[in-house]
Amino acid sequence: MIINWCLLFILELYVCFAEIPPGCEVSTTTGYRYSNFYRLTSNEAGESRLGFRVMAQRDAHIVLTTSVLGLNPLYEIVIGASGNNYTDLRRTLTGRSVSAVKTPSVLSDTEFRGFWIHVVNGEIEIGREGETLPYFHWKDIDPIPVEYYSFSSWVNSAAKWIHGCNVGGSSPWLSSEDAIGKSVAEVPILTPESDEGYYNVMGKLRSNLLQTYSRDIRPGAYHRYPISVAVHMSLTHLDLNEAASRFIIHCWYTMSWRDDRLQWNVSEYEGLNVLHVPSYIVWQPDIVLINNADVSGIPHFSERPVQVYPDGSVIWVPQTSFEAMCQLDLRFWPYDTQTCALRIGSWAHNGNFIDVTLKNNDSAVGIIEHIYISNLQWELLNANATITTQYYQNGPDQPYPESVYTFVIRRRSPMFGATIIAPAIMIILMTLATFLLSPNTTEKILIGVVDLLILSFYLIYFSIIIPRLGDHMPFIAMFYSYTFIMVAMSVMLAIATTVLVRTPSIKGPPSWIYDQLLGFPGTLLGLNHLIITIRNERCPNQSLEVSGTDYSPQVNTDIDTHNLVPPQQQKSSTFDFKRMNNAEIEWLLLAYALDRLGLVIYCFIFTIMMAIYL
């Protein structure tokens, strides 16, 4: 409230010293509300024109409505929206913008600035005081009859308005009733044949071409003949929103067609061979992005002038952004390649009325080298255009030609190799190393727990940065998930072998298992040096055999760290076999065998997983 009152005081102080023309109304608005409504006058043709001046820092709201109740639907115009950077048009109060143009610093909080709004048959134009051409134009396909207007500011802001008089024409303070109420006899009309009043030959040509021109009628002397629209795309930037599965293209989109109503003889107009006119005053093909992902309703193409040539050729090159839905395939993330397509064609006219073709039959998508900015995350591999014909259920016999632009992009992933692939390989090596440690060491359990923590962090990281897709899962995420399970099993195996070795025993494992460990399987698992060591430590002159009788309890309560085999064999061990009974030695041999078997199995499984998922 204090901010509003301060702004209001400054505005009132300024108005006291400003010259207010007679017959105009002065209004002050604070906050966002429409309090006073005024009748909007119109002429017999239904044409309405509103002129006003406003002084505000930002967000000057004007509403055009059918009643003083201000009910939807209506037209709400916001001059200086988004921090005094845009002019927006909405069909409901505080609703989604149906059209917007960039107008930086269009308002001022230190001076009045004049604007005019022109409404006729659903077409809304907004211009600045003293300018005849509008800077904003939009056509409503379902026009709203407007009879009243009102002003408002925005939250925590204030605005001062001067209205009730026309500030947009050549007479700055002519009342709106006088401006739109004059009869045709009172307004002088210059005939096309007369040069009087034209600034130059371009003004004369434009007047002659557009005097009876209607932008709502499709070109062509015979209505059954389709009009050919040649299209071409020139890239300036591309991007991919993975979270929303949207492919975004910024480009210059060239459209060219022939309009016989815009022909002229060059010799009659001082050799003038090209005419630039605003795009909204001539016919435009209703070309749209068919698989559009942005449903805001804002037109794709900016209001850029068109070039008209003497033979009736029209070339329009607006800047635009296309945002299309794209089916992502993230199975090979972060080394994935995506293919996205843009389908562009006429929305309402089938091929019998508008025929979409490629300009010069060029299927390549152009790149404007001095403007194009490459994407740091995605590399463009290929881009081409084709023409396809679609048939829809509303008209199965009506062809709809579309220009399909296919883009193949590949993720730039040098960083992922260092942050994802390298840690995965190190976790595998650390897991395999635990099988080479002695069965009674606790370090192998500690290493496994650390691996589990690292894998947990990576799985959480993947769930954050990778979009959640219902039909497939990235291979790298599957690799980390399966590795998590494998490491958890290795930790459980390490715990089991530690318990086998450290638990005092008087009875060994089943004899058939022990027999196998002393035979070829033990040799295959690399246990020969251990078997020899046990023989030398326990019974130097005898072979190690299974007695089949109960062993006397000889609990190993004081384990020293010595060589695994006699010093002459240069092998290390943490066991004193002379102080261990036969049952404990047999369990120790089984623990070593389980570790070696786990090493072989894990090497085989990890090799297959790396070949498939990495």
pLDDT tens-place string over residues 427-451: 999 999 988 888 878 888 999 999 9
The more confidently predicted of residues 508 and 563 is 508
Nearest to 232 by CA among 379, 408, 367: 367
The more confidently predicted of residues 327 and 71 is 327
Q: Which residues in 514-542 are b (16+ Cβ under 10 Å) and which e?
A: beebbeeebeebebeebbbbbeebeeeee
User: Span 536-548, mean pLDDT?
Assistant: 48
Contact, 48 vs 121, CB < 8 A? Answer: no
In tens, the pLDDT along 497-518 reads 888 877 776 676 777 776 666 6
- Residue 371's φ and ψ, nearest 5 degrees, are -115, -30
Of 60-69, 330-339, 343-352, 524-533, give the lowest mean pLDDT range. 524-533
Indicate the pLDDT class of residue 174, thresholds 50, 70 and 90.
very low
In tens, the pLDDT along 473-488 reads 889 999 999 999 999 9
Q: Rg (Cα) of the chain, in Å, rounded?
A: 41
Indicate the pLDDT class of residue 566, thresholds 50, 70 and 90.
very low
pLDDT averaged over the chain? 80
Rounded Cα distance, 378 and 239, in Å: 7
Does 87 score more than 50 pLDDT? yes
Does 309 score more than 90 pLDDT? yes
> Which pLDDT does position 201 carry in this prediction?
84
Does 86 score more than 80 pLDDT? yes
Amino acid at 485: I
The more confidently predicted of residues 555 and 472 is 472
Does 173 score more than 50 pLDDT? no
The more confidently predicted of residues 541 and 547 is 541
Of 25-29, 325-329, 579-583, give the lowest mean pLDDT range. 579-583
- What is the number of residues in the chain? 614
Please state, as a whole number, how many other Cβ atoms lie within 10 Å of the Cβ of residue 114.
19
Q: Check residue 364 and report its DSSP letter.
A: B
Measuring CA to CA, how many Å separate 62 from each of 29, 115, 127, 143? 11, 11, 14, 17
% of the chain beyond a pLDDT of 90: 30
Indicate the pLDDT class of residue 522, thresholds 50, 70 and 90.
low
In tens, the pLDDT along 108-164 reads 888 899 999 999 988 999 999 888 888 898 888 888 989 899 999 988 888 999 988
The more confidently predicted of residues 468 and 259 is 259
> Which pLDDT does position 580 carry in this prediction?
65
Q: Check residue 517 and report its DSSP letter.
A: H
Indicate the pLDDT class of residue 167, thresholds 50, 70 and 90.
very low
> Which pLDDT does position 579 carry in this prediction?
63
Structure token digits, residue 586? 């047999």
SS3 per-residue string spanning 120-175: ECCEEEEEECCCCCCCEEEECCCCCCCCEEEEECCCCCEEEEEECCECCCCCCCEC
Indicate the pLDDT class of residue 102, thresholds 50, 70 and 90.
confident
Contact, 378 vs 248, CB < 8 A? Answer: no
Three-state DSSP state, 12 = helix
User: Span 534-559, mean pLDDT?
Assistant: 47
User: Span 343-368, mean pLDDT?
Assistant: 89
Domain range annotation of the chain: 2-186, 203-412, 418-613
User: Span 7-21, mean pLDDT?
Assistant: 50
Of 5-14, 90-99, 163-172, 399-408, give the lowest mean pLDDT range. 5-14
The more confidently predicted of residues 274 and 581 is 274
In tens, the pLDDT along 334-352 reads 889 999 999 999 988 888 8
Contact, 89 vs 77, CB < 8 A? Answer: yes
SS3 per-residue string spanning 559-608: CCCECCCCHHHCCCECCCHHHCCHHHHHHHHHHHHHHHHHHHHHHHHHHH
> Which pLDDT does position 563 carry in this prediction?
38
Q: Check residue 265 and report its DSSP letter.
A: -
Indicate the pLDDT class of residue 592, thresholds 50, 70 and 90.
confident
Of 174-183, 205-214, 299-308, give the lowest mean pLDDT range. 174-183
> Which pLDDT does position 176 carry in this prediction?
38
> Which pLDDT does position 531 carry in this prediction?
67
Measuring CA to CA, how many Å separate 92 from each of 70, 71, 72, 95, 147? 10, 8, 5, 5, 16
Indicate the pLDDT class of residue 548, thresholds 50, 70 and 90.
very low
Amino acid at 276: H
Rounded Cα distance, 186 and 465, in Å: 69
> Which pLDDT does position 538 carry in this prediction?
53
Rounded Cα distance, 387 and 396, in Å: 19
Three-state DSSP state, 519 = coil
Domain topology for 2-186: Jelly Rolls (2.60.120)
Indicate the pLDDT class of residue 547, thresholds 50, 70 and 90.
very low
User: Span 89-106, mean pLDDT?
Assistant: 85
Q: Check residue 42 and report its DSSP letter.
A: B
Q: Which residues contact 508 (CB under 8 A, 6 or more apart)?
A: 514, 546, 551, 582, 583, 585, 586, 587
Indicate the pLDDT class of residue 564, thresholds 50, 70 and 90.
very low
> What CATH class has 203-412?
mainly beta
